[in-house]
Amino acid sequence: MRLLLTRILLKLLQIPVIKINEKRTRIFLWTICPQQGFIDYVTKRDVELLRHIGMGVPREEYLTLLGQRIELGLLLSEAKKAYQKVEKERQEKIEALKKIQSKDNKG
């Protein structure tokens, strides 16, 4: 019921939806993934969150920290996925060019 009321309220308010440029996002994620600094940051932040959780915190804070840890993992996963996708596309283009060059050399 609460979700339904929220949706109705949002439609009535006509809050504009932010348009995200997927290409720019993919380029950003692709460029940060192979950088050791990004990997080090993710590792450091994950250890900090685990250390904080391990000290014993109230339930509310535990859920917040757990959510941050999950979000960090999702960021790393998205960056890896974008990197792999771009690298796969790059390899396919290289293979296509090699095939074209080999045909030109034969003919």
For 51-89, b/e burial (b = at least 16 CB within 10 A) is eeeeeeeeeeeeeebeebbeebeeebeebeebbeebeee
Digit-coded pLDDT (tens) for 32-67: 988 999 999 999 999 999 999 999 999 999 999 999
Mean pLDDT rounded to a whole number for the chain = 88
**DSSP for residue 16:** P
Check pLDDT > 90 for residue 1: no
